[in-house]
Structure 1
């Protein structure tokens, strides 16, 4: 049974976790399907991406039934080898969406726990239903977050809050998660809001959107001098080029820009 579906409409890639009967929990097949979906979308002409989950929850984390299967493999090799650029396979579940060159918007509902939370963190924007609950769940199983969470979480929240959530695996309601930086916005219909935002982004200059995502990625990890250089380098790729000229013409003529 397919774990993930990918559909394209109006320049937006719609990625759906389709294991709703298991709260989209992560087993080996789900991990591989999420990564494959990210790679497919990254190679496509999509201008924005929406990730959502079928059923009662976006993703409730690791499938407990898979613990034995995971433990039975060569764990040291599996976790230590950098099989996806700078990441191992489980880390790529989140990090593949940071490698997608266009904005990724996650629509969240129900349980967003453990690996599911880290998957959501891979998105550029997280829109959640007010009843969503989130948890850095790994301590419940005597583990630590190791699916990219410690790359992404410290950029979003204070260290004391991050430490408390990691040490306790305490679930928190969506309004608190929004206050602490884990959620971008709350919406009663997060999927509709995510699709609306993706449609809005898809109308912008594709080259400028991609440049912005590259630049923000550099700004999150580089020193001031490098960021200033990258600002200039990215801008030089845009100024006076056909897409930018179309944006200007559309503004002057009071119409929406049209991109190939």
Structure 2
């Protein structure tokens, strides 16, 4: 999918997805927006997919909006129109990773500014390089984060810190990002760590992993979550993959799941 600014390779049920505009630090132009949405749509329809690693080619993850390109193109979109469930096209490039049926791990290096940080925040897990640079950059341009950032950060990022960063657009590093909840952990080789984690996830019962993501995505009162938890567990108990998980553990061998 390099013609759409996104490259995808899949092996062993793990998709290695890379933003592919390295000469512009993977900045978001109309083609990049279209490419990311197309990639999410393709992955949603991919059979046997167990996990996704999302990264950027070249010197950084994503520098955010390519302001010149977006200004010349115009938005071309009614921001009020929901084109992908809860999200509009701009939100889908970040929100779509959260709603994808399998876990997504973002490997962040170089910069993750503005929309780039929001895209990374759509992942279930974010692994950052020690020298990664991040920013809720939108206020620099006189706008607010509008690619699902606030919905994705809620529950992860400390509220007062998020407000400060959104109001000021100041840059911060990986250690501060870890302390505040923007990233999950720091690694010298974030892509390698992300791939190892994705392969570990791919070795688990895929039906249970997808069920766990559905539960993790739930919002609402405790009663609704508890009911959903019971329903997911009832569907898993005594299913062939659940029996295989138990049997493989007892026999001390790798499990062989069907999907």
TM range (shorter): over 0.9
Q: What residue is the counterpart of 1:80 in the other structure?
A: 80
Secondary structure of 1:34's counterpart equals helix
**Unaligned regions of 5+ residues in structure 1, if any?**
none
CA offset digits 1:104-143 (Å, max 9, x no partner): 0000000100000000010000001000011000000000
- Distance in 2, Cα, partners of 1:198 & 1:179: 23
Aligned to 2:236, the other structure's residue is in SS state coil
1:195 and 1:152 map into 2 onto residues whose CA distance is 23
Taking the TM superposition and a 5 Å limit, the aligned residue runs for 1:5-84 are 5-44=7-46, 45-70=48-73, 72-74=74-76, 77=78, 79-84=79-84
Partner SS state of residue 237, structure 1: helix
Work out whether residues 14 and 199 of structure 2, in 8 Å CA contact, stay in contact via their aligned partners in 1.
yes
CA distance in 2, matches of 1:186, 1:231: 31
Retained in 1: the 8 A contact 2:118–2:148?
yes
1:151 to partner: Cα distance: 0.4
Q: CA RMSD of the aligned region, Å?
A: 1.0
1:259 lines up with 2:224 in the alignment: no
Query: Could you tell me how far apart the structure 2 residues matched to 1:36 and 1:74 are?
Result: 17
Question: For the Cα contact (< 8 Å) 1:42–1:99, is it kept in 2?
Answer: no
Where does 1:42-191 land on structure 2 (aligned, <5 Å)? 42-44=44-46, 45-70=48-73, 72-74=74-76, 77=78, 79-191=79-191
Contact 2:107 2:126 (C-alpha < 8 Å) held by counterparts: yes
Q: Given the two structures, how large is their TM-score scaled by the length of structure 1?
A: 0.96
Work out the CA distance in 2 between the residues paired with 1:170 and 1:139.
Answer: 9
SS in 2 for 1:55: coil
In structure 2, the gaps of 5 or more residues are: none
Which of 217, 231, 239 is residue 233 of structure 1 equivalent to? 231
Give me the TM-score of the superposition, normalised by structure 2: 0.96
Aligned residues: 255
Q: 4+ residue stretches of structure 1 with deviation over 2 A?
A: 72-75
When structure 1 is superposed on structure 2, of 137-146 and 36-45 the one drifting more is: 36-45
Deviation, structure 1 residue 73: 4.7
Specify whether residues 73 and 247 from structure 1 end up closer, same or farther in structure 2 by C-alpha distance, changes over 3 A only: closer
1:101 CA displacement: 0.5
Distance in 1 of aligned mates of 2:155 and 2:171: 20
Matches of 1:203 and 1:231, distance apart in 2: 22
